[in-house]
Amino acid sequence: MAESFNAWILGLRNNTIVTILEEIRVKVMSRVSKLRAFADTWTNGISPMAMMVFNTNVTRTMRYNIEWNGDDGFEVLEGVYTYTMNLGQQKCSCRSWKLKYIPCAHGITSMNHLNMDASQAISSCRNPIVEPPEARQMPGRTPKNRRRELDEVRKAGKLPRMGIIMTCSICRGANHNKRNCPKNPKPKSTPTPTQESITGKKKGRGQYERTSNNWYKKRCMKWLQEEAKSCGTSSRRVNTGVVSSAHVTGDIDFKPTKGLKWKGKQAMTQRELQVQSVMHRIQTRSKAVGIQTRAQAKEKSPSKKTS
């Protein structure tokens, strides 16, 4: 249809849009008047083209054989092909009657079998009753407000900001606000503790990696102060610069005050504990080596005497 209309206005496409619209209006007006004059020449209410198709279908009925079920159903035999016809619903398996609204050759054969006038079926088929579809409930809540156009302005309430240029309230400049204004001094923002920095970053199921241990350092310092008070000595604050205790792998250069004890024993640093464990291991090995050498010496001595 689009190609035929394009060919119909092919000579008008070089003109302006107003001239094209005027020419199309004149063409449509003349076409409607010609069709009305052609419809006045009809002898009945059926067009000549429809009568030509009907007469062609009547000629084809001479070659058909028909079987009737006693009601509205027919089987029309056309050579090796069989067509099913329902005369009450005006439906045929060839679907020509439904497409053209003109009785097909199979329908005309069925009506001739029942001694009916097939030409009367053309007028009833040319004006079909088109009924609207049944209303059905759509999913979701029924909307109450109508859909507005994109450029429609609301009559009440807050107006849209579409098309408004953003201006700064400090320098009155365009295309920026006071947050990004170059004349607005930005204060140094202090980082606020988040839930992740307090509780830690989750590594896996039930495991957390601590990112901030300020609370742990405060707790340790409080414990040291309490221990120093209990021993009667003054407490001193130690700044190790260590964020997490998991990062400590060696000595942190901290020596406890004199008289500080833990579970009744003299307190010592981690370095001293490592030295003590190494010395204990060396002594244990040396004792084992000495015992082994004495045993070997005893085994060799009897052999010399016998020789």
pLDDT tens column, 34-81:
988 888 888 777 778 888 888 898 888 888 888 888 888 889 888 888
pLDDT tens column, 15-41:
888 998 999 999 999 999 998 888 888
DSSP, collapsed to helix, strand or coil, labels residue 259 as: coil
Q: What is the pLDDT of residue 143?
A: 82
85 in Cβ contact with 107 (< 8 Å):
yes
User: For the packed helices 48-60 and 105-113, what is the interaxial angle rounded to 10 degrees?
Assistant: 70
Q: What Cα–Cα distance (Å) separates residue 269 from each residue in 85, 255, 273? A: 106, 6, 6
Q: How many CB atoms lie within 10 A of CB 15?
A: 13
Q: Is the pLDDT of residue 112 over 60?
A: yes
Tell me how far apart the alpha carbons of residues 246 and 181 are, in angstroms, rounded to a whole number: 45
Tell me how far apart the alpha carbons of residues 221 and 200 are, in angstroms, rounded to a whole number: 21
Q: Is the pLDDT of residue 186 over 60?
A: yes
Q: What is the CA radius of gyration of the chain?
A: 53
Q: Is the pLDDT of residue 125 over 60?
A: no
Classify the phi-psi angles of 95: left when phi > 0, otherwise alpha if psi is within -120 to 50, otherwise beta.
left
Say which residue, 2 or 174, is predicted with more confidence.
174
Q: What is the pLDDT of residue 241?
A: 57
Residues 154, 156, 160, 165: is their CA dihedral positive or negative? positive
Q: How many CB atoms lie within 10 A of CB 272?
A: 13
Residues 92-98 have a mean pLDDT of 87
Q: Tell me what the pLDDT averaged over the chain comes to.
A: 76
Residue 182: which pLDDT band, with cuts at 50, 70 and 90? confident
Q: What is the pLDDT of residue 221?
A: 76
Residues 87-101 have a mean pLDDT of 86
Say which residue, 144 or 250, is predicted with more confidence.
144
- Residue 65's nearest CA partner among 75, 73, 55 is 75
Q: What is the pLDDT of residue 28?
A: 92
Q: What is the pLDDT of residue 254?
A: 58
Residue 248: which pLDDT band, with cuts at 50, 70 and 90? low
Question: Which token pair is 90?
Answer: 């005006």
Q: Is the pLDDT of residue 245 over 60?
A: no
Residue 240: which pLDDT band, with cuts at 50, 70 and 90? low
Q: Is the pLDDT of residue 242 over 60?
A: no
Question: Which token pair is 214?
Answer: 């300020």
Residues 185-205 have a mean pLDDT of 57
Helix segments in the chain, DSSP class H: 2-8, 17-40, 48-60, 96-100, 105-113, 120-126, 195-199, 214-231, 270-306
Q: What is the DSSP letter of 174?
A: B
Q: Is the pLDDT of residue 305 over 50?
A: no
Tell me how far apart the alpha carbons of residues 91 and 110 are, in angstroms, rounded to a whole number: 12
Q: What is the pLDDT of residue 233?
A: 47
156 in Cβ contact with 147 (< 8 Å):
no
Specify the residue for token string 């060696």. 250
